[in-house]
Amino acid sequence: MDKLVIQGGARLEGEIWISGSKNAALPILFATLLTDQKVTLSNLPHLQDITTTIALLGALGVTISIDDNMQITVESGSLNAVTAPYDLVKTMRASILVLGPLLAKYGEANVSFPGGCAIGSRPVDLHLKGLEAMGAEIEVDQGYIKARTNGRLKGANILMDVVSVGATENLMMAAALAEGTTVIQNAAREPEIVDLARCMNALGAKVEDFGSNTLTIHGVEKMTGGEYSIMPDRIETGTFLAAAAATGGRIKTTKADPTSLEAVLLKLKETGAEITQGDDWIQLDMKGKRPKAINIKTAPYPGFPTDMQAQLSVVNAVAEGTGRITETIFENRHMQVQELNRMGANIAVEGNTAVVTGVDKLNGAPVMASDLRASAALVIAGMVASGETAVDRIYHIDRGYECIEEKLRQVGARIRRVPSK
């Protein structure tokens, strides 16, 4: 197991290229199960979750080839199993997304209950209720979801109790091969869902109204092969921009998508950052200034993303004034607070709100990552702090950030990966 060791005090300056989106790539990889024909995907990030997904598809018998540019070709016609085993599913919440495509295409799926970050309850009941509305028979037995259909799934009107990205993706994929039309109301609107819909349509699906809270999917008998390039990772983009804001620096993110990050850019502007952008780049310049404290309340897209609140809590930690960060999506998403306070931050958690009073400086310390985005926050804190910070258990960060230390070194961070003792 490795850790990241950071010498703080360096102001970030320069350009960072943005990888493909993890949260778009995972459902799109599972969507290749909907067709027997060859699908070629490009701009996939080199991440542990991608590796796990490829291993899971391989365990199902899917044929996968990868070239030197991480372009992946998937052929699901060789599939010979419909069980997603626990040893592959236990580390990754998104593995539940294998359920809908397997059920729709092969009429059967056995999927272990998934794992992932310990940031709170993320029940799968919305996935199961939606599939049952389409005619699936589902039972839960010894930690496995066992789903069957008698013939094709049937189109249905589905009203989700709460907005759920994963359930929207799973049901959208299942509906692609269902008989008739499926309407999903109160659907999630995230850019990654739009990317999934565009990929599915490129493979012959008929998904309409994506990007709105009511999705319409006209089922087709079969889907085709094709090629698709994954969207840029908006959370990676926001993380690097937050790091520049916290350090008083100036960075330009390239291969980025400004339209997917509007809520975050608005909040970064409130900190005093000067932001300019083009079609595929965003530049943030703090001009050496200390950021101003901001208030944040997470919400489903197009609101402020829950995956960015930990990073902005570090900006607030060294800002002028006091800011409040209210988490409305997950009940256990302020896990970075205890470690930040060990570094000298002044953060008090009141229910689902973190009250952050800015301090003049943070101090380096050994800290431990608890989940993916909290670990990114600790890396930012280490770059701001005086002295040395060691971030342990960074397998979390490797699930969501490609070559994070190499990218940060390109813009002046003093960061290295070393083995944990």
Helices (H), ranges, 6-116: 22-31, 48-59, 86-89, 99-106
Helix axes 234-247, 309-317, angle to 10 degrees: 0
DSSP H or E run through 240: helix 234-247
Is residue 146 helix, strand or coil? Answer: strand
Which of 276, 318, 277 lies closest to 294, judged by CA?
318
Out of 44, 89, 104, 117, which one is annotated catalytic? 117
Count of helix runs (H) and strand runs (E) in the chain: 14, 24
Does the annotation mark 117 as catalytic?
yes
Helix axes 165-176, 191-202, angle to 10 degrees: 10
Question: Rounded to whole angstroms, what are the CA distances from 145 to 139, 352, 360, 391?
Answer: 6, 31, 51, 36
Is residue 225 helix, strand or coil? Answer: coil
Backbone Cα Rg of the chain: 21
Bridge partners for 346 per DSSP: 357
Question: Rounded to whole angstroms, what are the CA distances from 273 to 265, 270, 408?
Answer: 9, 7, 19
Residue whose tokens read 């983009």: 237
DSSP H or E run through 2: strand 2-7
* Catalytic residue ranges: 117
